[in-house]
Each structure stands twice: as structure tokens, then as C-alpha cells.
Chains A and B, each alone.
Chain A
Amino acid sequence: MLETIWFLLWGILWAVYFMLDGFDLGLGTLAPFIARNDNEKRIIYNSMGPFWDANEVWLITAGGVTFAAFPTAYAVMFSALYTPLLLLLFALIIRAVALEFRSKGESEGWRKLWDVCHFLGSFVPALLLGVAFANIFKGIPIDQEGIFHGNLLTLLNPYGLLGGILFVLLFLVHGALWLAIKAEGDLETRAAKAASGIWLILLIVAVVFLAATWFATGLYLNYLSNPILLIIPVVTVLALLATRLFINQRAFWKAWFASSLTIVGATLFGVVGLYPNLLPSSLNPAYSLTIYNSSSSSLTLKIMLGVALTFVPIVIAYQIWSYYVFRDKVTKDDLASDEAY
């Protein structure tokens, strides 16, 4: 029971991370294609300024919780995904530094350098996270010792890459919507246009991904034995459709929430399908890491549950407050202040 609760919390943490950092990563990927001048670039940077750092902590917490609740899975997963994970980290490092440093130097070369870093630091994580999760859904070649028999190319299989593309597209729509919320005038209009354009590609890729999942993974088995669970993919698809509806109405906040729900739903669809596996082995199902053979002791799980139930609601409360404080569009005054990016 405890293990199942922690499995769900684990899934939710990742889902919230994708929902929150998703718009930063997506907007960072979109930036070079949508911003026409330094002013527009600065609007993009400042639209995520107060949030990106706290968003990224969800990743750290998701990682930490994997470590705390399922140490064996953490050990195997992270060492198996050695190269992609380190690439992810380097990318996130240069993104953070790009955000912080870019506007603190004036020369054009300096800013260009960090713009490139910001793009790479946004696009690469989006892609890799998708590749990693698709591979987790599909299973990777690990033996009974949890040793990974493969390399980076093993992970870059068609289904893995499809997952990567799906994530990039989900985040692009999410980020474009955030820009539509935070920008004014022409940039706002272009952002909305980008969101609805990319949405169409996303819809196609999502359908292909759902079909490929049938062939490449065992995710649907849980849904076939418990049809009630199908509500998750159904809600996800409805949320994706609603996103487009709200974009057309120019109700960007609503569209952004619908897009958030899409991302959370997509993540939970995978996680629920995975249960009770954390990392299936593609060599032999008996080698798979499950919540039973890789969890922490029940004392640790209980203490951690106490900590999570106490502090996570507090975290959510003050993070909502911080979004509320900075709910307005980025204005000229904001850009003129000494602290602005």
C-alpha cells in the first residue's frame, strides 16, 4: 500500500515538473524562431524570470524522491541512462546560466552566445526527457543485477525518439501559450498563432504515439484489465482538444491550463500503465524493477510520506502565490528595472 502511494506520488511529481518546467523549456526552444529583436527576446526571458528556478526544483524533488522511495530503481535507472542524464544536466546548467547572465552584459556577442545556450539548454532537456520516459515505458535491457546492456543508441530507438518529439511539441505549445499570456500586441498574436500551428502537429504525433505505444509497450494491459482507468487518456485527449478551442477564443489562460492538464494526463497515462513496474527489463520480465523489489523500508516510506504530506501542500500554496504576484503581462516598466533579465 505504502509503495503504491509512493508510486503515485512519484508519478505526480514528474507530471508537475513537466507541466511547470514544460513551458520554460518550450518557450526557450521557440524563442529563436519567434523573437524578432532584443526587446522581444527580453520579454521572453522575463516572462519566465520569476518562475524557472522554482520550476526546476520539481525535477530535483522528483529525482530525490526516486532516490528516497525507490533507491534500487534510482540506482539502476540513473546509471543506465548515464549519458542522456549527464547531457540533460549540462543542458539545464547552461540554460540557467544563460537566463541569469544574458542581460547582465551589454555586447551583442555576449547576448547572442547566451541566446544559443538558452535554446540548447531548453530543447535538449525537452527531447531527452521524452526519450528517457518513452524508454522507461518500453523497458530497457537490464539484467538481474540491474546492469544495463546497451548504449546511447539503444535508447535512441524509434519509439524513444517519438517520445522525445512528443515532449518537445507538448512543451512548445505550452510555452507558446505562456508567451501569449505574458506578451502584448504583435508578439502576443504571433505566439498564439505559433501555438495553434504547432498544436496540429502535436495532435498528429500524439495519435501516432498512442498507436505506437500499443505495439512497443505493455502500458495498455493495465487499462484493459481496469477499463475505468481509461478515463485518464480520455481526459488527456479532451484536454488537448480543449486547448485548441481556447486558443481560438483567445482565452490564453484557459488554453494554458488545458495544456497543463494535457501534459499531466500524458505523464499519468504512462505512469499508471507502468504500474507496478518502475523500470521494465526488455531482456526478461523477471528482471524488471517494480515498486516491490526496489522500494525503501516501510519506516523510511512512512517518514517521507509525513514530510511530503506536510510540506508539499505548503510548497504548492506559496508557488501559486508567486504566480499570482506575477500574473500580469511583462511591461516596459518591468524591462526597465535594474533587476530584469
Chain B
Amino acid sequence: MDAVTLSRLQFAVATYFHFLFVPLTLGLSILVAIMETKYVRTGIEEYKRMAKFWGKLFVINFAIGVVTGITLEFQFGTNWSRYSKYVGDIFGSLLAIEATVAFFLESTFIGVWVFGWNRLSPKAHAVCIWLVAAASNISAYWILTANSWMQHPVGYVIRNGRAELSDFWAVISQPYAILMLLHVLSGAYIVAGFFVMGVSAYHLIRRQELSFFKRSFRMAAIFTVIFALAEILVGDIHGKEMMKSQPTKAAAAESVWETTKGAPMYLFVVPDEANERNKVEILGIPKLLSWVAFGDSEGVYRGLKEWPKEERPPVAITFWSFRIMVALGMLFALISVIAWLKRKNPENSPGFLKFLIYCIPLPYIALALGWTVTEVGRQPWIVYGMMKTSDAASSVGASQVGLSLAAFVIVYSLLGIACFYLLIKNARKGPVPIPALDR
């Protein structure tokens, strides 16, 4: 394999792994902040125990999220130096702003929060976790703005042999970025909601700490249902934006080969890239695809054949990732509505609770698939329509990249195992017993 392919694989490994930890951080920080706020407001000790228990799981997860994020930033320089040189004027500044504005805030106050339970007033302590939650979400905004710029570059001119910033406001306020932010954040909140519901379910089935986990479950159920339903709406709007700004990705996501007016949606499709057609297309609903994509059943859906082969993304991966992601999104809405209906006495539905435990990984999978659509669907471009991925890599040797890729796989696998071991261990153990009962 050449250095470009290896670098792509390495970036994929690093990103997928990083994004196993980030979404839980984004969502759980908010849930913990709500718990602690309730403690400060009501004085009910159980809320404090909740904040501590879920906070501990949060912190285990947070550490890996932070350090695996650094490798992403550095890889732009190590593996994608031509890209960095060409677009650093815009892309680099977004990353630098993220660190200055958000990451410092997050990392400083997480330290104060974890170690400061006895050193700060309850109110000040609760403010710390809110700052952590706010900072991690602000951080998501800057990172996603940077990614959106790769999907849909705006606010630049080509000058001095590179892309230079011409309109900062256009870069940070473009609809693609805002929609992507809402899309990713909702997804992350669904991850956190399912995580809290799943872990609570484990204890509720065993009737341990009943009141503690009922409260947790209820809070998570309300949180999840809001964002699972919102995600359908946001996903739809984001999809419509993608139609406009990235037509090749949209065509690949639905595996549409011929440009069609009033395109139908097939419930089951198997793409056949080699022959530029679909092997299977069954259960078609006339005009539905055009209606979903444009809000107009007579809309013209551009097919992949409009572009030369070398400008099309890999179809099968993009298509399947998109399909399964959408199906999972629908499923999350359904499950979270059921969970919301059962929020008051979840312990009476042990079958459903058991099912919820097995649901914990699903939102993670949905997010990984979503990123696959985003990044693979953008190919062959690293910056859509501007720079090809094949022109973006560093001139480092394939053997060097091969070695570092192997190191990434090994180190990350071991870390993953250690982290999941700790998470599962601490999640199963449940909250620290109340001292009075302990004696």
C-alpha cells in the first residue's frame, strides 16, 4: 500500500477511536451538570451521589477522549502536510481557536471539578461542571466548523498558491456547519442517554439502588427522547443541505446512478459499482426520494453517472453506512419513546430493560457510520471540489506510516480494552454506598 492509503487508514483508525469517547463526554457532562444542579437546588443527597457516580464514568471516558484528540491535530502536520500547507490559513486557525477558547476551559475545570468536591462551595462546584459541559460543546462547534469547511469550503480566495481566508464570518456561520453541529450533538446526546439508561437498566433488573437508578433512568429517558426525535428533523435538514452542497455524496448515499426527476425511494437496494447500476431495487415508493431530498416530489435527483468515475466516492460503503445509520436513527426514536413512556416505573419491564443494556453500543455504531458517510462520501476530495486527497499527503515513506499505523492499532486496542474494562467494572459496581448505611 502507498503512503496515502496508509495515512488514510491511520487517520480513520485515530478518528473512529477518538469518537468512541467524545460523544459520551459531550452528553454525559450535561447530564451530570443537571444532576449536580438538582443537588444544589434541592439538597437531596441522592443527586450528589448520582453526579459522583456518573461523573466517575465520565472521567474515565474523558481522559482517553482528550489524548486521542491530540493525535488528530498532529496528524494533519505529520501525514497531511501538503493539505496543511494549502489550507492552514483557514483550517489551522479554527483548530487553534478551539484550543484557546474551549479546550483550556474544559481541561482546567474538569481538574477542579474532580478534585474540588471539598474545596469549593456546592454552587461553585456545580458551576465547574457546567463550564466543562459548555466548553466541550463549544469545542465540538469549532472542530465541526473546521470539518464543514472541508465538506463545503466558503469564505476563501486562492492566492499565493494556497487557500487564504477572505471572510471569517462566512466560515464560522455557514449553514452546513450549524446543521452538522446540531446533527452530531444530538447524536452524542443519544449516546449518553442510551448509556445512562442501559447502565441503569442493569441495576434496575437486579433491584440494586432502586431509587437512585430510577431517578437516573427517568432523567436519561427524557433527555434521550427529546434528542432522538430532534435528530430525525435535524438529519433531514442536514441531508437537504448536503443535496445542495455535495451532490456526489448525496448520489452515493442513495446509490442513484441515473439523474431522475421525481426519484423513487427503494426500501431495499444493493449497489453494483462495477457495472454502474444497482443489482437489486425492491419495494420502491414513487417520488419519495425527491420529496425527502428537496421537499418537492418532482425534484431532479442527480445520478452518479453525471460525474466522471474518478470524481465519485466509493458507493457501496457510503450507501450502506448511510442506510444503516438512518435505520438506527429511526430505531432510537422508537426505543426512546417507549423508554419515556416507562420512565416512572421502568423496573416493571425487565424484558425491555435487558434489551436496553444491549442497545448501549448502537448509537456509537450509528455515529461511526455517520462519520463514514461524511468522510468517505467526500472522496476523492479532501476539500470538496478544491483539493484531492491524493494530493494532500506528506512525503513520508510508506514504511514509516505503516509502522506508525501498526503502533496505533496496537496501542489503541490495548487502551480500548483497559478503558472498557474500567468502565464496565465501575458501572457494575454502582454508586458508593451511603456512609450511614455502610456502618
- Asked whether A71 and B99 contact (CB < 8 A) given A96-B67, A100-B59, the answer is no
CB-CB < 8 A to A105: which residues of B? 422, 425
Is B170 interfacial (CB-CB < 8 Å)? no
Distance in angstroms between the alpha carbons of A67 and B80 in the assembled complex:
12
B98 touches A64 (CB 8 A): yes
B164 and A338 contacting across the interface, CB-CB below 8 Å = no
Residue from A65, A74, A97, A315 within 8 A of B84 (CB atoms): A74
Check A300–B90 contact: CB distance below 8 A: yes
The answer for the CA separation of A315 and B60 in the assembled complex, in Å, is: 25
For the complex, is B93 an interface residue (Cβ under 8 Å from A)?
yes
Known: A75-B81, A93-B411. A64 touches B99 (CB 8 A): yes
A 64-89 binary contact with B (CB < 8 Å = 1; else 0) = 11111101101111110111011001
Q: Which residue of A lies closest to B162 (CB)?
A: A71
Closest to B431 in A: A338
Closest chain B CB from A215 CB (angstroms): 30
A83-B400, A97-B64 known; A90-B111 Cβ under 8 A? no
| Bound Cα distance A53, B396 (Å) | 31
The answer to whether the Cβ of A35 comes within 8 Å of any Cβ in the partner chain is no
Least CB distance from B52 to A in Å reads 7
Q: A79-B396, A97-B64 are in contact. Are A89 and B111 (CB under 8 A)?
A: no
**Residue B426 is within 8 A (CB to CB) of chain A in the complex:** yes
How far is the CB of A313 from the nearest CB of chain B, in Å?
11
B96 touches A79 (CB 8 A): no
Closest chain A residue to B10, Cβ basis: A86
Give the A-B contact count at a CB cut-off of 8 A.
235
Partner of A64, one of B92, B168, B396: B92
- Which residue of A has the minimal Cβ distance to B14? A89
Within 8 A of B (CB), among A110-136: none
Are A297 and B92 in contact (CB-based, < 8 A)? Answer: no
A90-B407, A300-B93, A337-B118 in contact; A49/B111 too (CB < 8 A)?
Answer: yes
State in angstroms the CA–CA spacing of A299 and B168 once bound together: 9
Question: Taking the complex as formed, is A144 at the interface, i.e. its CB lies under 8 A from any CB of chain B?
Answer: no
Residues of chain A within 8 A of B395, CB atoms compared = 79, 145, 147
CB-defined contacts of B91 to chain A, threshold 8 Å: 67
Question: Which one of B78, B99, B160 lies within 8 Å of A57 (CB-CB)?
Answer: B99
Given contacts A297-B89, A299-B168, A312-B100, contact A93 B67 (CB under 8 A): yes
Known: A64-B95, A96-B67, A325-B120. A79 touches B81 (CB 8 A): yes
Q: Which residue of B lies closest to A319 (CB)?
A: B108
Determine the chain A residues whose CB is within 8 A of the CB of B164 once the complex forms. Answer: 296-297, 299-300
| B77/A78 in contact, CB under 8 A | yes
- A101 within 8 Å of B by Cβ? yes
Q: A67-B76, A75-B82, A93-B71 are in contact. Are A322 and B89 (CB under 8 A)?
A: no
Contacts of B69 in A (CB 8 A): 60
Chain B residues with Cβ under 8 A from A59's Cβ? 70
Indicate whether A85 sits within 8 Å of B78 (C-beta atoms), given known contacts A51-B111, A54-B111: yes
Secondary structure type dominating chain B contacts: helix
Q: Does A165 contact B (CB under 8 A)?
A: no
Tell me which residues across on chain A come within 8 A of B52, comparing CB atoms.
Answer: 338-339
Q: How large is the interface on A (under 10, 10 to 19, 20 to 34, 35 or more residues)?
A: 35 or more
- Contact indicator A63/B90 (Cβ below 8 Å): no
Q: How far is the CB of A319 from chain B (nearest CB, A)?
A: 6
Is there contact, CB below 8 Å, between B95 and A68? yes
Interface status of B112 (Cβ within 8 A of chain A): yes
Distance from A53 Cβ to chain B, minimum over Cβ atoms (Å): 4
State whether the Cβ of B165 lies closer than 8 Å to any Cβ in chain A.
yes
The answer for the CA separation of A67 and B422 in the assembled complex, in Å, is: 35
| Residue pair B104, A54 in contact (C-beta under 8 Å) | yes
Q: Note all chain A residues with C-beta closer than 8 A to B168.
A: 299, 303
Residues in A neighbouring B111, C-beta threshold 8 A: 49-54, 322
Q: Cβ of B67 and Cβ of A92 under 8 Å apart?
A: yes
Measured between beta carbons, the chain A residues less than 8 angstroms from B411 are: 90, 93-94
Cβ-based interface call for B107 (8 A): yes
| Contacting residues, chain A, for B166 (C-beta < 8 A) | 299
Task: State whether A89 and B70 are in contact (beta carbons under 8 Å apart), knowing that A57-B99, A72-B85, A300-B164 are contacts in the complex.
Answer: yes
Asked whether A104 and B100 contact (CB < 8 A) given A68-B88, A74-B88, the answer is no
Which residues 395-417 in B have Cβ within 8 Å of A in the complex?
A: 395-396, 400, 404, 407, 411, 415
Q: B63 near A: Cβ within 8 Å?
A: yes
Cβ of A325 and Cβ of B116 under 8 Å apart?
yes
B197 to chain A minimum Cβ distance, whole angstroms, is 24
Q: Does A61 contact B (CB under 8 A)?
A: yes
7 tightest Cβ-Cβ pairs between the two chains A and B: A71-B88, A78-B77, A67-B92, A64-B96, A75-B81, A100-B63, A68-B96
Q: A49-B111, A51-B111, A53-B111 are in contact. List 11 more A-B contacts (CB 8 A).
A: A71-B84, A72-B85, A74-B77, A78-B74, A78-B81, A89-B70, A93-B71, A93-B411, A300-B165, A338-B56, A339-B56
Binding site for A on B (CB under 8 A): 52, 56, 59-60, 63-64, 66-71, 73-74, 76-79, 81-82, 84-85, 87-93, 95-101, 103-105, 107-112, 114-120, 159-160, 162, 164-166, 168, 394-396, 400, 404, 407, 411, 415, 418-419, 422, 425-426, 432
